Chains A and B, each alone.
Chain A
């Protein structure tokens, strides 16, 4: 299962997002995702801050997780939604979601500091969503969050791709620490030339690293996560991307990367 399969698998999983606000505004335009339907409901004046409700809208759900039959205290009475498998995932304010659209600037030195908990909540809510236009800054913030998950897990396999040796050079001290201070097995994939790095296994000449921005972590418990993004039309600040916590999907990607790395 290659990194590209994460994008394909995510595209099969549709989400429905309901935007509650006094005015429709430009929310739906800013929130451009390929497998998400955004609908708007007007809030009367004097209501709560504008918010969004995220629902899984069915699709082929191969992963573990949702146990439709036994979950929660809601009974089987009709809620007036369309019949089918729509399932509430979560609600956050638009202001919280804005952190995803315009994330806090994550500097290299503070990767291990907790990124805002609100940011993590939004990431959790919007897994398996294929975003049509992610900036490098958004990808970097998500990458930092996933590096942080790996750091907290302290054990497992971490594979990260860099398109250039220069990009890796900026992060080298961080990955050195990740590998040296934990039991993590850290693998760095470079598109072009080799770079020597202590503690970290470096694999050069990878087609995946050339094509995708990726970070994939297979660790203990429910810490698995993977982010995959592909540059759009040669624009170096515009990516199609998705992240997933599906353990099977993450394990598949990590396995593929490990196979490739060991030749």
Chain B
């Protein structure tokens, strides 16, 4: 489990803790708004390791996650995923400073996140995998 830098396990040190150390750390509402959506958590998880990524690649990965609940993802559903990426998820991640969305090139590049923020993203992903939505 990452996030060793967070004060979760050492509350006494909370006063000294600087979550912005070592990289990008969005304002709390921005960060937790980004993490409030399952698809965005999947995107952030993927981008931690596979950045930069094309928008099509990110849409593929979201389709892949949907295959846990359905036999196949068809083109209509895929178009919905793409539209949500363009109009919602990617602008939001960009505004939060978590990733850079280049509309012209159709690519997304992860920001260099502070270790504390990366830890939260990884924690959110592990929580998703351990307790999937029903």
Contact = CB atoms under 8 A, between A and B. Distances in A.
Are both chains from one complex?
Answer: yes
B41 to A, nearest CB: 12
A80 B64 contact: no
A44 B86 contact: no
A90 B50 contact: no
Nearest to B74: A90
Contacts, number: 113
B99 to A, nearest CB: 14
Contacts of A43: 61, 64
B133 to A, nearest CB: 14
A87 B54 contact: no
B88 to A, nearest CB: 13
Contact of B125 (A46, A49, A53, A90): A46
Contacts of B79: 71-74
A79 B125 CA distance: 25
A51 B73 CA distance: 11
B83 A46 contact: no
Interface string A77-102: 11111000001111111001000000
Given A20-B64, A48-B64, A53-B60, A80 B71 contact: no
Nearest to B78: A88
Interface of B is mostly: helix
Contact of B60 (A18, A73, A122): A18
Nearest to A56: B75
Interface residues of B, number: 39
B63 A53 contact: yes
Interface in B23-62: 45-46, 48-50, 53-57, 59-61
A125 B82 contact: no
Interface of A is mostly: mixed
Interface of A: 18, 20, 41-44, 46-49, 51, 53, 71-75, 77-81, 87-93, 96, 117-118, 121-122, 125
Given A49-B68, A73-B82, 17 more contacts: A20-B60, A43-B64, A44-B49, A47-B46, A51-B63, A74-B83, A74-B86, A77-B103, A78-B103, A78-B106, A79-B55, A79-B82, A80-B57, A89-B75, A90-B74, A90-B75, A91-B63
Interface of B: 45-46, 48-50, 53-57, 59-61, 63-68, 71-76, 78-80, 82-83, 86, 103-107, 125-126, 129
